[in-house]
Amino acid sequence: MTTYCDVAPSHEWHGPYHNKEYGFPLEDDAALFERLMLEINQAGLSWLTILKKREAFRRAYGGFDPVVVAAYGARDRKRLLGDAGIIRNRLKVDAAVTNAQRILELRKSHGSFAGWLAAHHPRSKEEWVKLFKQTFRFTGGEIVNEFLMSIGYLPGAHVESCPVYRSTLKRRPPWSRQHVHTRR
């Protein structure tokens, strides 16, 4: 079976993401929000499409600053839906604004999005999916799984034989610190 670790490292777009970001822990709210929104926008599309549009997403969504995006109104939504540089899907645009607002709520209760994630760790994938569906919009099982793998909360971003696997472990991703026992 071919894995992302087999094909990504030398690819123009996938390589830098695979080698320096995928599976590494994130703490910054803007970076976490960006990763969540990129995963949401990837739904139904290829990850390569998202990587190629990443800079346009950053410009369109104010650097993924949750305070900025949470304040978006009808004019901003119209602008986003007209921006050919990003994915122009009303549900995904609406999810960005709502999810930014939710992150601001999480800051009040947990200090940050990262604090909220840490407060709920460890959980099984199924428990995470349920929590995300209760908290955020447009967060199905695959989106939540990829998001959490990409930020180090769930294992599986890299195969053990991948050199990047060892690099991620040096950063002590949350999944490596505790083993999740699935509740039955």
Nearest alpha-carbon partner for 37 in 122, 117, 150, 172? 150
Catalytic position from the list 13, 21, 47, 165:
47
Catalytic position from the list 4, 17, 22, 61:
17
Residue indicated by tokens 């122009």: 88
Catalytic position from the list 39, 61, 72, 116:
39
For residue 66, which phi and psi values (nearest 5 degrees)? -60, -35
128 is catalytic: no
13 is catalytic: no
Q: Reduce the secondary structure of the chain to three states and give it as a string.
A: CCCHHHHCCCCCCHHHHHHHCCCCCCCCHHHHHHHHHHHHHHCCCCHHHHHHHHHHHHHHCHHHCHHHHHCCCHHHHHHHHCCCCCCCCHHHHHHHHHHHHHHHHHHHHHCCHHHHHHHCCCCCHHHHHHHHHHHCCCCCHHHHHHHHHHCCCCCCCCCCCCHHHHHHHHCCCHHHHCCCCCCC
Q: CA dihedral defined by 54, 40, 151, 17, rounded to 10 degrees?
A: -30
39 is catalytic: yes
Q: Which residues are catalytic?
A: 17, 39, 47
